[in-house]
Amino acid sequence: MREVISSHLRVPLEPQKALGWMSQAGEIVRIALRWGAHHTGLPIMLVAAMVLVASGHLVKRTIRFGIEVTVVLGLLFAATRLGWIVW
């Protein structure tokens, strides 16, 4: 039997709050970059470049993982619909 989520748990999207959160996140990133530059002795541009490259690699891996999970989920769904797997 499926559970129904009550309506008081659903929150409407409020763009002003989302934008406020994004500006706070940007400030935290700036502080972290300054901290990293200060404690490593490297210029802030170099620290920022290293962070961008590392995050790019993480994004690529995350996307690849998401695609693999989607393919496996699709195969399991197809096998279930064909009757090869019974849960």
Question: Is residue 24 situated within a structural domain?
Answer: yes
Query: Is residue 73 in a domain?
Result: yes
57 located within any domain: yes
* Total structural domains within the chain: 1
Tell me if 1 is assigned to some domain: no
Residues with Cβ < 8 Å from 48, sequence gap 6 or more?
Answer: 33
Dump pLDDT digits (tens) for 4-36. Answer: 555 555 666 676 776 777 778 888 888 988 898
Residue type, 72: V
Domain of residue 59 covers 14-81
Coil, strand or helix at 86:
coil
Determine, yes or no, domain membership for 2. no
pLDDT for the residue numbered 58: 94
Alpha helices, DSSP H only, in the chain?
15-40, 44-81
